[in-house]
């Protein structure tokens, strides 16, 4: 029987969300059911359209109201709360083997959730569920309880050359 | 018109190939055509099966005879040669916007190709093609000419706990 662990993709480099999406594809290819919860992000990225072709295996939902500037607004808090409640049901529901919590690492520093609540979700997950957490600034407490942690480290980025985000590549 | 750059995913952490696959999905979702050339890998990973549903947009081909131990055998060299020749045609053919060269970073250190030949491919690529190179040990010469470089750095890995590679997650 599949035994799930906890993975974290963090760091300032490109590739965190795409690594999670690639993992979703790999898992779906092996017949697993995958749930992707995207926090913060409001607009659909291009990958949504491609994922529609795999909608029997991969479910993707956004719980975002856009990136938070200085302080979170009520709409941000409500969106995160909705997402967290749904994600808890999904993780404990028994239908999904891989649950991706995209950008969740950022939420504690934005005061959108207490890190303890994320720890609680992880510690109480069923054994057959793999959880993947992405986003910059993963809190040390999450890194400690994760089984696998990769830091995507920016060595060089074309943004610094003034190249703007491109549809199909960055979003 | 789409302007393509050169991305590298390297380092000892998990997430290089999956980041490239996730990028393929994103690009396909925006209508781009994607070619994925997998070097070294002989067996089909689970993602192949999921990618079949997107075969009108994403083509994936393997040019591998398994990982090289001490010295490359003739079969390894022939497989790489075949891949490189096909990839050159694909890059210059005008049909594909995103070309992923999976595990290519490793090939120079395995003496399967000269780094100059990879540089040559990159320098002569049409403007409308984005090239993504993955694999550990990206040679410094490639890092220098790339536009974006992310190092996937292993902070923690469950392999060190004795957990074996799992279908749907690692392959």
Interchain CB distance below 8 Å, B54 and A49? no
Across the interface, of B154, B155, B158, the residue whose CB is closest to A5 is B158
- For residue A60, give the DSSP letter: E
pLDDT tier, A51 (very low <50, low <70, confident <90, very high otherwise): very high
Q: Provide the pLDDT for residue A96.
A: 98
Q: Does domain B6-161 have CATH number 3.90.700.10?
A: no
Per-residue pLDDT tens for A80-93?
A: 999 999 999 999 99
- Which residue of B lies nearest to A45 if distances are taken between CA atoms? B26
Report residue B19's pLDDT band, with 50, 70 and 90 as the boundaries: very high
Q: Is the ipTM of this complex over 0.85?
A: yes
User: Residues near B37 by Cβ (< 8 Å), separated by ≥ 6?
Assistant: B61, B63, B83, B86, B87, B90, B99, B100, B101, B102, B104
pLDDT, tens digit (0-9, with 9 covering 90-100), for A112-166: 999 999 999 999 999 999 999 999 999 999 999 999 999 999 999 998 888 899 9
Q: Do the chains contact at A148 and B169, CB–CB below 8 Å?
A: no
| pLDDT interval class at A25 (50, 70, 90) | very high
Q: What is the pLDDT of residue B145?
A: 97
Q: What is the mean pLDDT of chain B?
A: 95
Closest in A2, A147, A151 to B153, CB measured: A151
d(CA B64, CA B76) in angstroms, rounded, equals 7
% of chain A residues with pLDDT over 70: 100
CB B54 within 8 A of CB A50: yes
The pLDDT tens digits for B124-162 are 999 999 999 999 999 999 999 999 999 999 999 998 888
Predicted pLDDT at B122: 97
Q: Three-state DSSP class for B10?
A: strand
Q: What is the mean pLDDT of residues B93-109?
A: 97
Condensed to tens digits (0 to 9), the pLDDT of residues B51-65 reads: 999 999 999 999 998
Res. B69 pLDDT band, cuts 50 70 90: confident
Handedness of CA A134, A135, A136, A137 (dihedral sign): negative
Domain borders along chain B are: 6-161
A73/B144 Cα distance (integer angstroms): 42
Query: Measured between beta carbons, which residues in chain B are less than 8 angstroms from residue A48?
Result: 29
Q: Answer yes or no: do A50 and B54 touch at CB < 8 A.
A: yes
pLDDT at B92 over 90: yes
pLDDT at A70: 78
Provide, as residue numbers in chain B, all residues whose Cβ is less than 8 Å from the Cβ of A158.
5, 147-148
pLDDT at B67 over 80: no
């Amino acid at each position: 029987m599949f035994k799930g662990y906890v993975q974290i993709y963090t760091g300032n480099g490109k590739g965190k969300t795409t690594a999670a999406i690639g993992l979703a594809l790999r898992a779906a290819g092996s017949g697993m059911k995958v749930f992707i919860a995207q926090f913060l992000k409001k607009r659909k990225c291009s990958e949504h359209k491609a994922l529609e072709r795999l909608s029997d295996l991969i479910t993707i939902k956004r719980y975002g109201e856009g990136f938070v500037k200085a302080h979170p607004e009520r709409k941000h808090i409500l969106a995160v709360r909705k997402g967290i409640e749904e994600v808890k049901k999904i993780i404990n529901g028994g239908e999904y083997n891989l649950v991706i919590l995209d950008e969740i690492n950022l939420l504690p520093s934005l005061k959108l959730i207490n890190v303890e609540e994320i720890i609680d979700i992880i510690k109480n997950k069923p054994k057959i569920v793999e959880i993947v957490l992405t986003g910059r600034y993963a809190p040390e407490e999450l890194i400690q309880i994760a089984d696998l942690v990769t830091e995507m480290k920016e060595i060089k980025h074309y943004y610094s050359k003034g190249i703007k985000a491109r549809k199909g590549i960055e979003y």
